[in-house]
């Protein structure tokens, strides 16, 4: 039977940092354990020791290996070299499935997959935006150009996979309804993560964990924290964990606002280790798709305050009191203050645990993605067989 054949699956993405990397690692581990051969192709210039450790953890599941090559964030002449190097690597691996994640990964998977098809090598070409290019304003020059390129690449795509309904609706609004197949498959986390993390006795009030860049809102966390102290009528404590290009900017901001004795900063660490260090997690992003940190925090039993962006209302509930207006430090401060002084705040605002688990499980996610891979590769095999008989 065709559907019993192990598949050769290659995930292509740019930066091995954050949610995309987490998503790919989860898919790779589950599908490798199911008997498939999986590999990764990504950028070699981003990530640090923390990401190196994550590569070491997933390496045993990657029969097709890890290919790292320079892939720059911005569009430019260097992309030609990245395409050529990636084409040679991918051709040698002979994948059945090329799954691109994020704008650059999606371009690599679809362009190279289509080039292989010109040589009568059938490969399924999938694309998951994960936010990425969808964050651009369609009225801007950059956004207009990027959305036109996304539209053109739909001809090279066998299926679009969206990780939340917000992402799908945004794609339809900014780029257009794709002519081919598209699927909504929520991000999910593993069963072992659905266990409460015990809060340490010396835990701080609030935790920010993520990339240190304005898009994720570390500056809003700092400003909101400062205002929340006034609203709560007492000093608060905070912790910021992560790395990123603007880290020194936030360190200066904490010092300038006189918060150095109440907000500490630590390098990136595993999320569950970080959750033990604080009572409430804060996700003040200016834009998101479906952030894993939200799922991880809720699964660990950690109350969350989050910007009303991306798929976060789909998780917390559209009317949740834990959601705040994005890019509004005052609104964030008001909810932080309420969480700090009201012992029943989390009980009133957090989603039902059982319903949450049934919807955002990694087992559901990986099973549905594999079903899609199967259907697309079988279509490719039948198409190839027809070509050989004509």
Q: Helix, strand, or coil here: 100?
A: strand
Which residue has tokens 């051709």?
91
pLDDT at 244: 87
Euclidean distance between CA atoms 120 and 124, whole angstroms = 13
- Dihedral pair phi/psi, residue 209, rounded to 5°: -135, 125
Euclidean distance between CA atoms 366 and 363, whole angstroms = 5
Q: Which two three-digit tokens encode residue 145?
A: 């150009």
Q: In the chain, which ranges are E strands?
A: 8-12, 37-43, 65-69, 97-101, 124-128, 159-162, 181-184, 204-209, 238-241, 263-266, 278-283, 304-307, 323-324
DSSP codes, 167-227: HHHHHHHHT---SSEEEE----B-GGGSSPPPPPTT-EEEEEES-SSGGG-HHHHHHHHHH
Q: Which of 50, 52, 56 is nearest to 268 (CA)?
A: 50
pLDDT at 1: 42
Q: What percent of the chain has pLDDT over 70?
A: 96
Q: Which of 221, 214, 182 is nearest to 304 (CA)?
A: 221
For residues 26 and 186, the answer to whether their CB atoms sit within 8 Å is no
Q: Which two three-digit tokens encode residue 325?
A: 């207006």
Q: At CB < 8 A and 24+ separation, what contacts does 327-332 make?
A: 327/217, 327/220, 327/286, 328/220, 329/220, 329/223, 329/224, 329/227, 330/224, 330/227, 332/220, 332/221, 332/223, 332/224, 332/228, 332/282, 332/284, 332/305, 332/307
Kindly report, residue by residue over 98-156, the tens digit of the pLDDT: 999 999 999 999 999 999 998 878 899 999 998 878 888 888 988 899 999 999 999 99
Q: Which domains does the chain have, with CATH numbers?
A: 2-188+361-389 (3.40.50.2000), 192-358 (3.40.50.2000)
Beta strands 65-69 and 124-128: pairing type?
unpaired
**What does pTM read for this prediction?**
0.85
Euclidean distance between CA atoms 361 and 357, whole angstroms = 6
Show pLDDT as tens, one digit a residue, over the chain (390 residues). Answer: 445 789 999 999 999 988 899 999 999 999 999 999 999 999 999 988 989 999 999 999 999 999 999 999 888 899 999 999 999 999 999 999 999 999 999 999 999 999 999 887 889 999 999 887 888 888 898 889 999 999 999 999 999 999 999 999 999 999 999 999 999 999 999 999 999 999 999 999 999 999 999 999 999 999 999 999 999 999 999 999 999 889 999 999 999 999 999 999 999 999 999 999 999 999 999 998 889 999 999 999 999 999 999 999 999 999 999 999 999 999 999 999 999 999 999 999 999 999 999 999 999 999 999 999 999 998 755 555 554 555
Integer angstrom CA distances of residue 12 from 90, 107, 152, 298: 10, 9, 19, 29
Euclidean distance between CA atoms 27 and 161, whole angstroms = 13
Q: Which two three-digit tokens encode residue 269?
A: 């660490």
Euclidean distance between CA atoms 131 and 52, whole angstroms = 24
Q: How many Cα neighbours within 13 Å face the side chain of 206?
A: 31
Q: Which of 336, 344, 298 is nearest to 206 (CA)?
A: 336
Q: Which two three-digit tokens encode residue 242?
A: 């992560």
DSSP codes, 110-138: HHHHHHHHHTT---EEEEE--SGGGGS-T
For residues 310 and 205, the answer to whether their CB atoms sit within 8 Å is no
Q: Helix, strand, or coil here: 164?
A: coil
């Amino acid at each position: 039977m065709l559907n019993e054949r192990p598949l050769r699956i290659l995930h292509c993405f740019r930066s091995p940092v954050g949610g995309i990397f987490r998503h790919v690692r989860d898919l790779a581990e589950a599908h490798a354990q199911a008997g498939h051969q999986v590999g990764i192709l990504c950028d070699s210039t981003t990530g640090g020791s923390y990401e190196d450790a994550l590569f070491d953890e997933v390496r045993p599941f990657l029969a097709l290996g890890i290919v790292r090559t320079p892939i720059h964030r911005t569009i430019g002449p260097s992309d030609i070299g990245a395409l050529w190097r990636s084409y040679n690597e991918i051709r040698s691996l002979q994948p059945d499935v090329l799954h691109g994640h994020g704008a650059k990964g999606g371009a690599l998977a679809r362009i190279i997959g289509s080039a292989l098809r010109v040589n009568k090598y059938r490969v399924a070409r999938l694309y998951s935006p994960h936010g990425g290019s969808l964050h651009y304003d369609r009225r801007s020059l950059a956004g207009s150009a990027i959305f036109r390129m996304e539209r053109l690449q739909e001809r090279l795509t066998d299926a679009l996979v969206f990780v939340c309904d917000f992402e799908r609706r945004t794609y339809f609004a900014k780029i257009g309804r794709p002519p081919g197949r598209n699927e909504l498959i929520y991000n999910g986390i593993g069963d072992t993560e659905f266990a409460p993390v015990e809060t340490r006795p010396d835990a701080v009030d609030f935790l920010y964990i993520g990339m240190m860049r304005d898009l994720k809102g570390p500056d809003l966390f700092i400003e909101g924290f400062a205002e929340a102290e006034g609203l709560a009528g007492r000093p608060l404590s905070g912790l910021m964990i992560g790395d990123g290009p603007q880290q020194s900017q936030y360190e200066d901001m904490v010092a300038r606002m006189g918060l150095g004795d109440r907000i500490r900063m630590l390098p990136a660490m595993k999320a569950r280790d970080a959750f033990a260090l604080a009572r409430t997690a804060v996700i003040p992003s200016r834009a998101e798709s479906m952030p894993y940190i939200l799922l991880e925090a809720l699964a660990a039993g950690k109350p969350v305050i989050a910007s009303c962006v991306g798929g976060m209302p789909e998780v917390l509930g559209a009317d949740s009191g834990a959601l705040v207006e994005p890019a509004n430090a005052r609104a964030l401060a008001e909810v932080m203050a309420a969480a700090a002084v009201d012992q029943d705040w989390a009980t009133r605002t957090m989603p039902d645990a059982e319903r949450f688990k049934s919807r955002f499980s990694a087992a559901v996610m990986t099973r549905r993605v594999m079903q899609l891979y199967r259907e697309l590769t079988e279509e490719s095999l039948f198409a190839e067989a027809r070509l050989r008989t004509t």
